């Protein structure tokens, strides 16, 4: 028998399934059961935790639904890799939370600022992948322009989302990409709502084109500050506070800590005026 079975403390009878899930989560998170490894059988887990097999079965079903575990016929139950984990948990947490639009925008900004900085640095090195990202960003801007011309809101929303998703993908962090994908429904609503506040939908393409223009300057600090201005504009359109609760400074730290921009650099940010 697995020696680990003898070390586990039996679980109390209160909220048994939840406690089984918490214990299994700890064992997986600690690396005791790594992706690709098989967990003990229902019988062994029931003995390990001192609970009935039905409680073990229910806990495993939840983890299977979340994509954490998978059952293989005649082989047992295995831990799955991160790529298979469902984003539904995050989605529902946001759906049931308060101030979700503000929280989503803040999470977006933190993730995008990191990835945007990486993209800017890669462009200074003429990285082929970064240059390809610029081309794809241009394609989304063209779609926005065409959609604005025909007032195709849904098409504009998708192009807007894809524009920002490309920035996140350029950051090279798979967890960021997974988090961003889970925000799709919320972002679509955020983007659509911001469009309602605009007098001219062509502003959308102009705003995003200005971001790409600063990227082409190959000056990461300028591009990052322009990207931050994009988020401040969204907050204004959505009537969201630009400061944290309690009056503290804006929590989008990557922008706040960006290097100072010189006068000539600052001047390069002015040509495209944005509606307020």
CATH number at residue 31: 1.10.10.10
Question: Cα dihedral sign for 49, 52, 56, 62?
Answer: negative
Are both 103 and 168 inside the same structural domain?
yes
Are both 69 and 92 inside the same structural domain?
no
Question: Within a domain: residue 276?
Answer: no
DSSP secondary structure code for residue 81 in this structure: P
Give the H or E element holding residue 101. Answer: helix 100-124
Using the CB atoms, write b or e for 93-123: b if 16+ within 10 Å. ebeeeeeeeeebbbbbbbbbbbbbbbbbebb
Are both 128 and 162 inside the same structural domain?
yes
* pLDDT of 189 higher than 90: no
Strand stretches in the chain, DSSP E: 69-72, 76-79
Which of 49, 84, 119 is the endpoint of a domain? 84
Are both 127 and 255 inside the same structural domain?
yes
Give the structural domain span for 33.
4-84
As for how many domains the chain has, the answer is 2
How many other C-beta atoms can be found within 10 angstroms of the C-beta atom of residue 72? Answer: 9
pLDDT at 94: 57
Mean pLDDT value across residues 194-222: 87
Are both 190 and 162 inside the same structural domain?
yes
Q: How far apart are CA 48 and CA 51, in angstroms?
A: 8
Q: How far apart are CA 56 and CA 182, in angstroms?
A: 28
- Per-residue pLDDT tens digits for 28-62: 888 899 989 999 999 999 999 999 999 999 999 98
Are both 47 and 148 inside the same structural domain?
no
Question: Within a domain: residue 273?
Answer: no
Q: How far apart are CA 16 and CA 228, in angstroms?
A: 47
Are both 124 and 107 inside the same structural domain?
yes
Are both 142 and 100 inside the same structural domain?
yes
Q: How far apart are CA 139 and CA 136, in angstroms?
A: 5
* pLDDT of 250 higher than 50: no
Are both 75 and 103 inside the same structural domain?
no
Residue pair 225/261 in contact (Cβ under 8 Å)? The answer is: yes
- Per-residue pLDDT tens digits for 79-107: 987 665 656 666 655 555 555 678 888 88
Enumerate the β-bridge partners of residue 72.
76
Which of 34, 63, 84 is the endpoint of a domain? 84
């Amino acid at each position: 028998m697995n020696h680990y079975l003898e070390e586990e403390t039996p679980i109390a009878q209160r909220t048994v399934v939840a406690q089984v899930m918490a214990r299994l989560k700890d064992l997986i998170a600690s690396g005791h059961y790594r992706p690709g490894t098989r967990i003990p059988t229902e019988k062994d887990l029931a003995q390990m935790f001192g609970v009935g097999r039905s409680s073990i079965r229910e806990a495993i079903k939840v983890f299977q639904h979340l994509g954490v575990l998978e059952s293989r016929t005649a082989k047992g139950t295995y831990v799955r890799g991160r790529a298979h984990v469902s984003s539904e948990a995050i989605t529902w947490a946001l759906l049931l939370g308060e101030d979700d639009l503000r929280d989503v925008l803040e999470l977006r900004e933190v993730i995008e600022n990191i990835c945007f900085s990486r993209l800017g640095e890669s462009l200074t090195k003429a990285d082929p992948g970064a240059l390809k990202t610029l081309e794809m960003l241009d394609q989304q801007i063209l779609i926005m322009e065409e959609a604005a011309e025909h007032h195709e809101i849904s098409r504009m929303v998708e192009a807007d989302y894809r524009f920002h998703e490309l920035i996140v993908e350029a950051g090279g962090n798979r967890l960021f990409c997974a988090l961003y994908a889970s925000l799709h429904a919320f972002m679509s609503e955020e983007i659509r709502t911001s469009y309602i506040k605009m007098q001219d939908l062509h502003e959308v393409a102009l705003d995003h084109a200005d971001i790409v223009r600063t990227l082409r300057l190959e000056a990461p600090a300028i591009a990052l500050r322009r990207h931050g201005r994009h988020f401040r504009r969204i907050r204004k359109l959505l009537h969201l506070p630009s400061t944290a609760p309690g009056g503290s400074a804006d929590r989008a730290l990557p922008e706040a800590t960006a290097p100072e921009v010189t006068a000539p650099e600052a001047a390069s940010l002015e040509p495209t005026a944005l509606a307020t």
